[in-house]
Chain A
Amino acid sequence: MISLTIDGQVVEVEDGSTVLQAARKLEIQIPTLCTHKALLPYGACRVCLVEIEGSRGSWLETSCTFPAQEGLVVNTTSDRVLRTRKIVLELMLARCPEVEVVKELAAEMGLEDTRFPKKGEDCILCGLCVRVCGEKMNAGAVHFVNRGTGKAVEPPYDRHSAVCMACGACEVVCPTGCVDLSKITTHQPRPIPSEFDEGLSSRGSIYVPFAQAVPNTPVIDKDTCIRLLNGDCGACQAFCEADAIDYDQEDTIEEVDVGAVIVATGFKLFDSKLINRYGYGKFDNVLSAMEFERISHASGPTLGKVIMKDGRSPQAVAILHCIGSRDENYHEHCSRVCCMYSLKFAHLVKEKTDAEVYNLYIDMRAFGKGYEEFYKRVLGEGVHFIRGKAADVTDVSETPEEKGKLIVVAEDTLLGVTRRLPVDMVILSGALTPSPDSADVGRVFSLGCSQGGFFLERHPKLAPVDSMSDGIFLAGACQGPKDIPDSVAQGAAAAAGALSLIDKGKVVIEPITAEIIEDRCAGCQLCIANCPYAAIEYDKEKNISVVTEELCKGCGTCVAGCPSGAAHQKNFEDEQIFSEIEGILTGSEV
């Protein structure tokens, strides 16, 4: 450990630390522009100047590069330091008069303007981009060129660089935002779309999936992380003070023994691209319900501003109900929640913009507590309701007013006329459909699917949370379209059902298990091959097969396959079924 004095305070730091690190330990603020936790000190910006006091007078040093030494005396707020720093900033302000970080820092120092002639550059030559590319990405696609006043950052020979991976690190570290990746790389820069924002914004390779994620910890996307792909970068590790980042972690499969399972695999929003006449994926401002949900949300890509792709506020918005639901060509069922969220969207558009809002619906289904009241409220807000399903969304205008707009064509079934509505934004309220892998999930848990593909409950009225398999419960939209209150209610019921099973500590099995009569069994072991549960074992000593009752589920397949009639099924005995047959056929002519 080294002990040094900064502004009269003594601090101990580890060997190899810099004066800047020592000052930060004392929480002394020194402005910097070219330091980065993950990169080596560089001393380019000269803003972090401090005064070092020596035996033969004092001198100025950049604190980010000057090593801490035993007994060193440092002054960070002396007149000389502040005066010099001001001049450095004044020179920087002359070079880059419009750059925000420089203007802010200058303002903090009490500088309003510069006395030097202004150049209007946007790069402060901090070298962060050059260093991150060389040190961390091991690519070296950009570098300083020329010297003195001609110094600049460029790819070699000012040509698009083929070694650039288009990782975008230079763009991220640049404090002034002057890096244009498309001028550096020969590759197509591809921002990583944020899954949570429906691809409307981009995210980094290390990210927290969404604000309320549980657990609320960042994850690394192994498909795009440079460290995991090439072994370079590792910048996040340098930042993490808790040292929580471990690149060697692998996916693990954990096996957990449980007494009950609640299946809550949810739904998938209908892919509106399947109906191409609505222009989803073709027109910029035709949005899916989920996309609009993100746009209207305060934490979304537009911070809650309802704007179009080009940043303008829409003047008219159409909300199209029943996209893919109540439609024999796609899904026959009513998705139940769309009417209400469409009303919410209408309300939000009205609240946030001056736009006219058109709801095109087949039937308005405000089915829950307080819902009808909300419908009335939205009606009172001046939202237009047109009864009729939209037939088409087109950009082919027929009149001057329609020019540059999206035109929604629909039959107004109350007026009996076809209407053309010129709007700026179209929101498609898509159907709730079963998850694409629901058949696989169903197979794992022996769950049947009802018509439409949602999981089948044991009984629609008397056992709406249980499934056909004991100990497997259903909750939420995997069992059928439902809104949040209904999902919460079903989830609570499923939890209670699971808990009551676990709490008992024992399981009641149905009295229909198979049994093998010892005297009749010839030990052929056909039943063992028939049993899907490995519930039958061969007793070598007695040369017979024996059923383990706890494992037997009572399917009776072994009974039907037993050649000697030794296997029988309790309460589904051959004799019982024969009697049933006889009973059914009493009095028939043979």
Chain B
Amino acid sequence: MADQQFEPKIVGFLCRWCSYTGADLAGTSRMQYPPTLTGIRVMCSGRVDPTFVVKALKEGADGVLIAGCHPGDCHYSEGNYKAMRRHPMLANLLEQFGIERGRVRLEWISASEGELFAEVVTDFTEQLQELGPLNWNQRIEADCETV
């Protein structure tokens, strides 16, 4: 049964200074975590335009991870605070379209927290496995057509 289990697709927007380096550390430290996440390097979590998230979900991602430096540690002083404020707005918006809040996750992972990165990916994968595939076309496009 286990190999039959649904394998979610996750797009990760990783800040270049903390989380991307943290992911790198997880890799160089040979940590084990599910191969479900593909990272996209952005300079700062504040660069993540909400449209990136919507685009990713629309293109077939089952979940999106936005990861940045811990509050107060942002390389650009306050970019992660912007991300922190944008995230709930986006989650609210998506919820109105019937997309569960748990599909878009915001995490703070520092450059030294390779272990945390692996944990987050593992945990997020399990969470998405519970939620099941997103099936954007069925949920949203179909909805739109009825309107």
User: Does B38 sit at the interface, judged by CB under 8 A?
Assistant: yes
Taking CB atoms, residues of chain B closer than 8 Å to A581 are: 11, 40, 52, 55-56, 59, 61
Which of B46, B56, B135 is the one whose CB lies under 8 Å from A585? B56
Q: Which of A95-103, A244-252, A549-557 contacts B (4 or more CB under 8 A)?
A: A549-557
Interface size class of B (residues with CB under 8 A): 35 or more
Q: Are A585 and B59 in contact (CB under 8 A)?
A: yes
With A468-B17, A532-B78 known as contacts, the answer to whether A585 contacts B43 (CB < 8 A) is no
Residue from A469, A584, A590 within 8 A of B40 (CB atoms) = A584
Contact A590 B76 (CB under 8 A): no
Chain B residues whose C-beta falls within 8 Å of the C-beta of A540 in the assembled complex = none
Residues 223-265 of chain A, each 1 if its beta carbon lies under 8 Å from chain B, else 0: 0000000000000000000000000000000000000000000
Q: Confirm or deny: A393 has a beta carbon within 8 angstroms of a beta carbon on chain B.
A: no
Asked if A446 lies at the interface with its beta carbon under 8 angstroms from chain B, I say: yes
Is B112 within 8 A of A555, CB to CB? no
Q: Which of A535-566 contact B (CB under 8 A)?
A: 553-557, 559-561
| Contact assessment for A560 and B112 in the assembled complex, using a CB-CB cutoff below 8 Å | no
Contact string, B36-63, partner A, CB cutoff 8 A, digits 1/0? Answer: 0010101110111111100110111100
Question: In this assembly, does B129 line the interface, its C-beta being within 8 Å of a C-beta of chain A?
Answer: no
Number of A interface residues in the complex (CB < 8 A)? 35
CB-based contact B49/A560 at 8 Å: yes
Closest to B76 in A: A555
> B44 contacts A589, CB within 8 Å?
no
Please classify the interface of chain A as helix (H, G, I), strand (E, B), loop, or mixed, using the class held by over half of its residues: loop
Q: What residues of chain A lie closer than 8 Å to B33, measured between beta carbons? A: none
A interface with B by C-beta (< 8 Å)? 442-443, 446, 448-451, 456, 468-469, 512, 530, 532-533, 553-557, 559-561, 569, 572, 574, 577-578, 580-582, 584-585, 588-590
Known: A556-B42, A574-B52. 20 other contacts (CB 8 A): A446-B77, A449-B112, A450-B112, A451-B112, A512-B43, A532-B79, A533-B76, A553-B76, A555-B43, A555-B44, A555-B79, A560-B48, A572-B42, A574-B51, A578-B52, A581-B52, A581-B61, A584-B40, A589-B60, A590-B136
Chain B residues engaging chain A, CB cutoff 8 angstroms: 9, 11, 17-18, 21, 38, 40, 42-44, 46-52, 55-56, 58-61, 69, 72-73, 75-79, 82, 86, 110-113, 133, 135-137
Q: What would 27 A/B residue contacts be, using CB atoms closer than 8 Å?
A: A442-B73, A448-B17, A448-B18, A448-B21, A448-B69, A451-B112, A468-B75, A469-B75, A512-B43, A530-B46, A553-B76, A555-B47, A556-B42, A556-B46, A556-B79, A557-B47, A560-B47, A560-B48, A560-B82, A569-B43, A569-B47, A572-B47, A577-B42, A580-B40, A584-B61, A585-B59, A588-B59
